[in-house]
Amino acid sequence: MKRTPITLADGRPLIYFDERDDAVRETVDRRDLPPPPPASQLRYDPLTDEWVAVAGHRQSRTFLPPSDECPLCPSTPRHRGEIPASDYDVVVFENRFPSFSDRTVDSDAGEITPLVPTGSGGGRCEVVCFTADHDASFATLGPRRVRTVVDVLADRTAELSTLPSVAQVFCFENRGVEIGVTLHHPHGQIYGYPFVAPRTRAMLDAARRHAERTGRNLYADVLAAERAAGERVVGANEHWTAFVPAASRWPFEVHLAPHRQLPDIPALSDAERDAFGPLYLDVLRRFDRLFGTPMPYISAWHQAPVRPHRSSSGSAGSAGPGHSARELSYLHLQVVSIRRAAGKLKYLAGSESAMGVFINDVPPESAARMLRDAG
């Protein structure tokens, strides 16, 4: 894989990842761009022990432009987007409208009230373009391109993990207007959070309690139980299993997990990276066949934090006693959809949005059976 870094007109980095070593890409961004915005402001919520990012500059981000004005398509003489080249394989660049960035503002450090301290939303937000084909989707990619994407995510996870402002690296894809995408071009994103995400903290707490009781890894035990039961398994190969969790929150939810405990994407072996693509593509194509229409989904990689979470005082808080976060974590990909039936969506209404209590309309066993039948 050929790696070619360049700098965009406003100073943001972009990297071409090409599958051919002889690929030559445009290195000059000929646009006239304003400087990138500063970082968001972090505000601490004392009622939930969580951080909220306030990013007013994102109100002006590009929203569902026509295909001939897509900023993620290759540039042409008539339209210059974020990618200067006339073609590409996979491209990563810093988001022009980031939720988190290393352009921090010292004045953000302070407080709204004595109970609500503030800080600058340091970190990084990057965009990953999977293909130059505007009309493609991840499900239409080939296994080789998926392998390239996995290698790119490993590259970016490793690099972002070295940034002092990043506590956790989150790689994900949103697909479909029902989910809330603002650009149709097939792409994903990478967030370098300046804190450990609330869901990750909850999962680590549960994993720590399980390890203290049993001496074993919680997710490894869950995976072993699902593989033994088989009822909710959608597919598997030598290195990965795809299954519907027994207590899934979403109408259709699948976890893809490697058969050995790993903390993050860079830790995957060559064999595991090769085996991931065929199984993941099979799952996504089953999603699309369920109701005969492209399935809206969120695809989210769960990785171990790289640093302890940020406390309310703005300093690094302890991740907890005993086992380290990397020992407790178990790399896996979570794919969820809000479509519960043809023409029907699962909205996060009162119980889910206000109280965090999910009510699933589709029994996980039924979802698994429907996905297997969609093969």
DSSP letter, residue 78 = S
Residues in Cβ contact with 341 at an 8 Å cutoff, skipping those fewer than 6 apart: 251, 291
Residue 67, number of CB atoms within 10 A of its CB = 10
Using alpha carbons, list the distances in angstroms from residue 166 to 85, 119, 162: 30, 14, 8
Backbone angles phi, psi at 221, to 5 degrees: -70, -40
Q: Which residues are catalytic?
A: 187
DSSP state of 246: T
Q: What tokens does 361 get? A: 């309309």
Composition of the chain by helix, strand, coil, percent to 5: 30, 25, 45
**Phi-psi region for residue 150, left (φ > 0), alpha (ψ -120 to 50) or beta?**
alpha
Give me 107's structure tokens. 């004045």
CA distance 287 to 285: 5
Kindly write down the DSSP assignment for every residue of 22-78, as one continuous string.
T-----------PPPP-PEEEEEETTTTEEEEE-GGGGGS--S--GGG-TTSBP-SS
Q: Return the pLDDT at 315.
A: 41
DSSP 83: B
Could you tell me if 253 and 335 are in contact, meaning their C-beta atoms sit under 8 angstroms apart? Answer: yes
pLDDT for the residue 38: 87
Q: Tell me, what's the pLDDT at 317?
A: 41
Place of tokens 């064999």: 271
The Cα–Cα gap between 243 and 237 comes to 12
pLDDT tens series, the chain, 375 aa: 999 999 999 999 999 999 999 999 999 999 999 999 988 999 999 999 999 999 999 998 899 999 999 999 999 999 999 999 999 999 999 999 999 998 876 667 899 999 999 999 999 999 999 999 999 999 999 999 999 999 999 999 999 999 999 999 999 999 999 999 999 999 999 999 999 999 999 999 999 999 999 999 999 999 999 999 999 999 999 999 999 999 999 999 999 999 999 999 999 999 999 999 999 999 999 999 999 999 999 999 999 999 876 655 444 344 455 689 999 999 999 999 999 999 999 999 999 999 999 999 999 999 999 999 998
CA distance 145 to 151: 10
Strands 233-236 and 240-243: antiparallel
CA angle at 77 for the pair 71 and 82, rounded to the nearest 5°: 25
CA dihedral 350, 352, 358, 362 (to 10 degrees): 70
Rounded distance, CA 97 to CA 95, Å?
Answer: 5
Whether the Cβ atoms of residue 187 and residue 126 lie closer than 8 Å to each other: no
What does the alpha-carbon distance between residue 28 and residue 231 come to, in Å, rounded to a whole number? 54
Distance CA 203, CA 375 (A): 32
At what angle are helices 364-373 and 270-290 packed, to 10 degrees?
Answer: 90
Contact 117, 110 (CB under 8 A): yes
Confirm if 266 and 154 have CB atoms less than 8 A apart.
yes
What are phi and psi for residue 30, nearest 5 degrees?
A: -95, 10
Collapsing DSSP to helix, strand or coil, 152 comes out as helix
Output the CA–CA distances (angstroms, integers) from residue 186 to 55, 65, 71, 195, 329, in the order listed: 24, 14, 12, 28, 29
